[in-house]
């Protein structure tokens, strides 16, 4: 067994290798297994090595922070008091390890003798010395410090919908997400992300196994029943090691009491775990975007549509309508305005002549200038309208305000992809995929990103994630042609060409005028099936109808790089440019 176990994201391998060399130069053995594929389940060898290691070096980068495997290894090492964290690019550290001193290595220059390197090497040396028989038996100079108290961490499982109506699922999911968000504001408590929690939705779970897998001390589960203006919520907190109930409660109230119930649940958990809630944390938990239960309920409906049906015309129209109603009920509800903007943005991107969403995005920002999602959707709209520099600035603001925002990371991924900054695009898309379990689009963008980076291992890994997510969605809605298209592309990336073509043909029969689907199929035919003729046929239909945003995107998409010297492709691009220029010159001029 090695002295040091190194936990990192495979995309950071080149950055980690010099650290390993510096450790080995000290005469210590290292286990870092560069052949491990990110996302692979722990096997016996990995678990044995990390448990036996005298010290665990966790390399935090914006990519590794998004990896639940790295986060799990860090939590385990912190629990055993053997964690030595280092950081690059000012990566936003997971909440449950922020209290542990972390060495920033930006600018270390791979100098093992420098101050930065010596800081983490000395920390490793102390842990290795502490674990030797001499020091443990008292023969050494330094006595092993007392073990730190095990850090408390909780997984909030998706609340079960007991209403007898599947359409109420958005409400039970929304309550779960709100409680996860509230508990995440407690600095002394680690909270499993929504993505990791929702992986267990609808499954029979052995609590001690789940606690072990997610490295948490406690698990919370509950149920929701809403009918006739009444609300019944049951919730219980379970000790992950013993399976015993630490706290349980049932709330029978009017449906209008939902905010009060959520606050009571969060505070009860904090009290049951004997944690101290700081005054600013108490205020943060009680602060909500609206005091209107009706507006909040409408927002949850729209949010569920956004999560499960992105890039779908009917869903996007429903999102806009629902958010407009929420904003009528509470005009000051910034989140509803931001989500409305996202719906409009999607419709405009789908080629419909609608508002582009900028008015709604600006309204959201006027109400809450610190709302990361509003900055993110504004960035997306600016990019769509060709204002790339402004879009980049807005995206940077969104990430700075909330590095854990799904919308901010997805937008940053898209912007970097279009700018051919594929390393950065991969980092942001990895985070978006980790933050939203139903996001197939980002998973497929990650496939294209890794293909552009010529990283076929990670390309296939991302394709596997995309296919699994698409199939899960299709199990509930087999007519969703957009998701069928994503699944076909994933199959193409995995080398299953015949299955990919079969799904493509099925989707085209179901929805022949879906431009987003045609675009994705053109990418698949070029990138994975190498059928240039078929790809050009699909592009011809698209480019005859393309907006300026779509044309710009086609021209920068690396999947179409092999077409740039093709005469037919050049003619299609030129014709689209001419059509858009003519339309612009004939547009009426309005007085300012």
Of all residues in the chain, what percent are helix, strand and coil, respectively (each to 5)?
Answer: 60, 10, 30
Does residue 406 belong to any structural domain of this protein?
A: no
Parallel/antiparallel/unpaired status of strands 218-227 and 160-161: parallel
Does residue 362 belong to any structural domain of this protein?
A: no
Query: CA-CA distances (angstroms) from residue 32 to 37, 430, 514, 570?
Result: 12, 21, 46, 48
- Which CATH number covers residue 170? 3.40.50.10610
Same domain, 493 and 456: yes
Same domain, 132 and 158: no
Q: Measure the CA angle with vertex 232, ends 229 and 238; round to 5°.
A: 160
Same domain, 220 and 263: yes
Does residue 368 belong to any structural domain of this protein?
A: no
Same domain, 181 and 242: yes
Same domain, 14 and 131: yes
Same domain, 115 and 230: no
Counted domains in the chain: 3
- Which CATH number covers residue 476? 1.25.40.10
**Which tokens in the block code for residue 399?**
């990430």
Q: Which of 247, 271, 288 is the last residue of a domain?
A: 288
* Three-state SS letters, 7-32: ECCHHHHHHHHHHHHHHHHCCCCEEC
Of 172, 155, 157, residue with least CA distance to 68: 155
Does residue 584 belong to any structural domain of this protein?
A: no
Same domain, 71 and 165: no
Does residue 259 belong to any structural domain of this protein?
A: yes
Backbone angles phi, psi at 454, to 5 degrees: 60, 35
Tell me: pLDDT of 361 over 80.
Answer: yes
Same domain, 221 and 192: yes
Transcribe 230-289 into DSSP letters: EEEEEEEEEETTT--EEEEEEEEEEGGGHHHHHHHHHHHHHHHTT----HHHHHHHH--S
- Which CATH number covers residue 78? 3.40.50.10140
Same domain, 223 and 107: no
Does residue 586 belong to any structural domain of this protein?
A: no
The chain-wide mean pLDDT, for the chain, equals 85
Parallel/antiparallel/unpaired status of strands 230-239 and 245-254: antiparallel
**Which tokens in the block code for residue 170?**
């958005």
274-312, pLDDT tens digit by residue? 887 677 777 777 777 898 999 999 999 998 888 777 667
3-state secondary structure of 153: strand
Q: Give the mean model confidence (pLDDT) for residues 154-181.
A: 88
Same domain, 276 and 161: yes
Tell me: pLDDT of 140 over 70.
Answer: no
Q: Give the C-alpha separation, 68 to 155, whole Å.
A: 13
Tell me: pLDDT of 395 over 60.
Answer: yes
Q: Which of 231, 263, 288 is the last residue of a domain?
A: 288
525-578, pLDDT tens digit by residue? 988 888 899 999 989 988 888 888 788 888 888 889 889 999 999 999 999 999
Helices of type H across 33-131: 44-52, 68-79, 115-130
17-71, pLDDT tens digit by residue? 889 888 988 888 898 865 454 444 445 567 778 888 899 999 999 899 888 788 8
Same domain, 178 and 275: yes
Model confidence band, residue 148 (pLDDT cutoffs 50, 70, 90): very low
* Span of 136-140, 163-167, 207-211, 542-546 with lowest mean pLDDT: 136-140
Q: Which residue has better confidence, 477 or 74?
A: 74
Q: Which residues pair with 191 in a beta bridge?
A: 154
Tell me: pLDDT of 251 over 70.
Answer: yes
pTM score, two decimals? 0.65
Same domain, 204 and 112: no
Does residue 580 belong to any structural domain of this protein?
A: no
487-507, pLDDT tens digit by residue? 999 999 999 999 999 989 888
Q: Which of 136, 169, 203 is the last residue of a domain?
A: 136
Residue 235 contacts residue 265 (beta carbons within 8 Å)? yes
Domain that holds residue 204: 153-288
Does residue 74 belong to any structural domain of this protein?
A: yes
């Amino acid at each position: 067994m090695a002295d040091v176990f190194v936990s990192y994201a495979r995309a950071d391998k080149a950055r980690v290798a010099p650290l390993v060399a510096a450790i080995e130069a000290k005469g210590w053995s290292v286990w870092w297994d560069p052949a491990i594929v990110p996302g692979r389940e722990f096997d016996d060898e990995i678990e044995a090595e990390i448990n036996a290691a005298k010290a665990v070096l966790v390399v935090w980068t914006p990519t590794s922070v998004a990896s639940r495997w790295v986060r799990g290894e860090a939590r385990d090492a912190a629990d055993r008091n053997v964690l030595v964290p280092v950081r690059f690019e000012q990566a936003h550290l997971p909440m449950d390890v922020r209290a542990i001193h972390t060495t920033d290595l930006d600018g270390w220059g791979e100098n093992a003798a420098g101050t930065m390197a010596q800081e983490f090497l000395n920390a490793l040396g102390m842990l290795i010395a502490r674990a030797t028989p001499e020091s443990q038996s008292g023969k050494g100079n330094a006595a092993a410090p007392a073990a730190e108290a095990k850090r408390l961490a909780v997984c909030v499982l998706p609340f079960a919908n007991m209403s007898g109506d599947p359409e109420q699922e958005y409400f039970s999911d929304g309550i779960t997400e709100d409680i996860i968000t509230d508990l995440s504001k407690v600095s002394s408590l680690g909270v499993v992300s929504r993505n990791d929690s929702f992986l267990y939705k609808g499954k029979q779970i052995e609590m001690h196994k789940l606690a072990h897998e997610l490295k948490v001390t406690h698990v919370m589960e509950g149920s929701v029943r809403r009918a006739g203006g009444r609300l019944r919520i049951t919730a219980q907190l379970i000790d992950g090691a013993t399976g015993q109930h630490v706290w349980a409660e049932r709330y029978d109230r009017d449906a209008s009491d939902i905010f009060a119930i959520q606050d009571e649940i969060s505070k009860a958990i904090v009290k049951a775990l004997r944690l101290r809630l700081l005054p600013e944390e108490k205020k943060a938990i009680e602060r909500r975007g609206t005091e209107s239960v009706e507006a909040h309920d409408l927002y949850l409906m729209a949010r569920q549509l956004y999560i499960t049906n992105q890039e779908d015309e009917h869903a996007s129209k429903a999102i806009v309508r629902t958010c407009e109603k929420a904003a009528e009920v509470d005009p000051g509800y910034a989140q509803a305005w931001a989500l409305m903007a996202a719906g409009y943005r999607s419709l405009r991107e789908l080629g419909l002549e609608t508002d582009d969403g900028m008015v709604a995005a600006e309204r959201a920002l006027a109400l809450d200038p610190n709302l990361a999602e509003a900055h993110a959707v504004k960035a997306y709209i600016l990019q769509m309208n060709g204002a790339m520099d402004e879009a980049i600035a807005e995206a940077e603001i969104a990430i700075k305000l909330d590095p854990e925002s799904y919308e901010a990371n997805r937008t940053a991924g898209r912007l970097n992809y279009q700018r051919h900054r594929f390393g950065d695009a991969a980092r942001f898309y990895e985070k978006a995929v980790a933050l939203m379990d139903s996001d197939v689009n980002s998973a497929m963008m990650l496939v294209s990103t890794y293909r552009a980076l010529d990283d076929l291992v990670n390309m296939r890994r991302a394709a596997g994630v995309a296919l699994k997510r698409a199939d899960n969605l299709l199990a509930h809605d087999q007519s969703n042609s957009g998701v069928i298209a994503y699944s076909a592309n994933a199959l193409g990336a995995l080398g299953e060409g015949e299955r990919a073509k079969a799904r493509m043909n099925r989707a085209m029969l179901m929805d022949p005028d879906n431009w987003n689907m045609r675009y994705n199929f053109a990418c698949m035919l070029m990138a994975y099936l190498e059928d240039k003729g078929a790809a050009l046929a699909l592009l011809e239909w698209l480019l005859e109808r393309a907006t300026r945003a779509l044309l710009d995107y086609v021209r920068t998409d690396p999947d179409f790089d092999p077409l740039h010297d093709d005469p037919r492709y050049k003619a299609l691009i030129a014709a689209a440019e001419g059509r858009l220029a003519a339309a612009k010159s004939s547009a009426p001029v309005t007085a300012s």
